[in-house]
């Protein structure tokens, strides 16, 4: 996903980036495991573009 596309289409959330400590990130969800398990939430820092995930 290109950072320019993220800025135009993805929602944002107030969450701290583990890399640069910025407090704003874009987020999206994907089904990365089997269908009967929870989705995975991805975050991308709006400042440094670092991407990390949270398994729900």
Q: pTM for the complete prediction?
A: 0.75
23 has catalytic annotation: no
Cα–Cα distance list, 8 to 1, 26, 29, 46 (Å): 12, 10, 17, 12
Catalytic residue among 2, 4, 8, 36: 36
Tally of structural domains, the chain = 1
Q: Where are the beta strands (DSSP E) in 1-56?
A: 12-13, 25-30, 40-45, 51-55
Could you tell me the end-to-end alpha-carbon distance of the chain, in angstroms, rounded to an integer?
A: 21
pLDDT tens, 1-45? 555 555 668 999 999 999 999 999 999 998 767 777 788 899 999
What count of other Cβ atoms lies within 10 Å of the Cβ of residue 42? 18
Range of the domain at 35: 3-55
Strand, helix or coil at 12?
A: strand
CATH code for position 26: 2.20.25.10
């Amino acid at each position: 996903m290109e950072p320019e596309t993220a800025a135009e289409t993805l929602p944002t959330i107030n969450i701290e980036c583990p890399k640069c400590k910025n407090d704003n990130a874009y987020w999206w969800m994907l089904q990365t495991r089997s269908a009967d398990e929870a989705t995975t939430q991805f975050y991308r820092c709006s400042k440094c573009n670092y991407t990390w995930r949270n398994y729900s």
